[in-house]
Amino acid sequence: MQVAVVTGPGAVELREEPRPAAGPDDVLVAVDACGLCTMERRLFDGTKPVYPVAPGHEAAGRVIEIGAAVASLPGTPQVGDLVTMDLLTRCGTCHMCRRGRSALCKRPQGGTLSDGTISMGAGLAEVVRVAAGQTYRVGEIPVEHAAMGEPLACVVHSVRLSGFRAGDRVAVIGAGYMGRLHLALCRAWGASRVGMVDVDEQRRAEAAGAGAGWVARPDDLAGRHGQHDAVFVTAGAPGAVELALDLCDDAGAVVLYGAFPKDVMASVGADRIHHHELSIIGVDWRTAAGLLESGALATDLDRLVTARYRLDEVADALALAVSQPVYRVMVG
């Protein structure tokens, strides 16, 4: 089978790899779509110089083989089922995993291809092997939607961390792909309004078209300070934390969803956080899979597919993803 390997900045190749054998607790999935996220873009543009590496963790496809130990268990996907899947394996035994916070696993489990190439999901391939417990049936939906299961699960986690409740007033800083998923989910879950903040005029216009209650530049928010119960920072830029706190009402929550450059520092008033009972939070599959299968977000997800490429066009897909603003480029 073929698998995409990034060998250096701007360099990717398709390698022949033995088709994996399904272990007793595994399933094999024929990949139909894999989204290119920030990690793939950073590997390809050289800002994350880890080579050679087989990336791709936002993947979906149809089950083609089931391990003997799980084949008869209730809930196990069956051959032919369309599944979204978690390709990043955690240890399951560390303190964070046992607390149900596996995203903070102390001993994440990596992997390699047959030649020793590092695997970071390896979803840019024809077939992947994954633990049956990390696959989720989504019914018959567009495969591009199914491939959004991983980022949508992250956004479900983010919104739950905020303590969000129906009727809450929400602001999202950053109208890119993750910001738009926050917009879609909060609207679906009953936010009274969701506003979007972005420096890019086109992104603001597209967010408004997707149902944002208001859109604004970061420097045009004076009339909106103190009016939000939850603020999600999906674009980690200088000044974003301070801006988010300004937007919060008393007892509001700020979720720092997007990663920040390591040299970005925030200056916040500790006494203000104390007196106004504000929370700053740094950041589920089953819920995400249910949302996908229900079709509740279908229109929103359609708008987020920027382009679609075949696996043998992966170089063109990565070139597009790093050369201009995109939501999600799909490969498969």
What tens digit of pLDDT does each residue of 28-73 get?
Answer: 999 999 999 999 999 999 999 999 999 999 999 999 999 999 999 9
Q: Which amino acid is at 202?
A: Q
Q: Which of 317, 255, 304, 316 is nearest to 282 (CA)?
A: 255
What backbone phi and psi angles, to 5 degrees, belong to 160?
-65, -40
CB 149 within 8 A of CB 60: yes
The verdict on 222 and 323 lying in the same domain is no
pLDDT value, residue 275: 57
Structural domain count of the chain: 2
CA atoms within a 13 Å half-sphere pointing along the CA-CB vector of 209:
9
Using only the alpha carbons of the chain, give its radius of gyration. Answer: 20
**Token representation of residue 160:** 């739950």
Please tell me the predicted confidence (pLDDT) of residue 315: 98
In angstroms, rounded to a whole number, what is the distance separating the alpha carbons of residues 31 and 332? 7
Token pair 């300070």: residue: 225
Give the pLDDT of residue 281: 64
* Sign of CA pseudo-dihedral 295, 184, 58, 23: negative
pLDDT, tens digit, for every residue of 139-179?
Answer: 999 999 999 999 999 999 999 999 999 999 999 999 999 99
Cβ pair 178, 151 in contact under 8 A:
yes
Do 91 and 198 have their domain in common?
no
Are residues 15 and 58 both part of a single domain? yes
Residue 291 lies in a domain: no
| In a domain? residue 132 | yes
- SS3 category, 293: helix
State the distance between the two ends of the chain, measured CA to CA, in whole angstroms.
13
Assess contact for 181 and 150: CB atoms under 8 A. Answer: no
Domain assignment present for 287: no
- 112 domain residue, yes or no: yes
Domain assignment of residue 312, yes or no: yes
Full-model pTM: 0.92
My answer on whether 181 and 124 are in the same domain is: no
Q: What is the mean pLDDT of each run of 10 residues along the chain (332 residues)?
A: 97 96 96 96 95 96 97 94 91 84 77 87 97 95 97 94 97 98 98 98 98 97 95 92 94 89 78 67 78 96 97 98 96 96
- Residues 35, 133: one domain? yes
Question: Dihedral through CA 91, CA 97, CA 100, CA 104, nearest 10?
Answer: -100
Same domain, 75 and 159: no
Instruction: Indicate whether 102 belongs to any domain.
Output: yes
Residues 95-117 as b or e (16 or more Cβ within 10 Å = b): eebeeeebeebeeeeeeebeeeb
CA–CA distance, 187 with 115 (Å, rounded to integer): 46
30: left (phi over 0), alpha (psi -120 to 50) or beta: beta
**Containing domain of residue 315, as a range?**
2-148+304-331
| Claim to verify: residue 50 and residue 144 sit in the same structural domain | yes
Q: Of 174, 252, 158, 275, which Cα lies nearest the Cα of 217? A: 174
Q: How far apart are CA 210 and CA 263, in angstroms?
A: 33
On whether residue 297 sits in a domain, the answer given is: no
Q: Are strands 193-197 and 214-216 parallel, antiparallel or unpaired?
A: parallel
The pLDDT of residue 112 is 84
Mark whether 21 and 100 lie in a shared domain: yes
Q: How far apart are CA 139 and CA 83, in angstroms?
A: 8
Same-domain status, 144 and 162: no
Residues 323 and 222 in one domain: no
Query: Do the beta carbons of residue 292 and residue 148 sit within 8 Å?
Result: yes
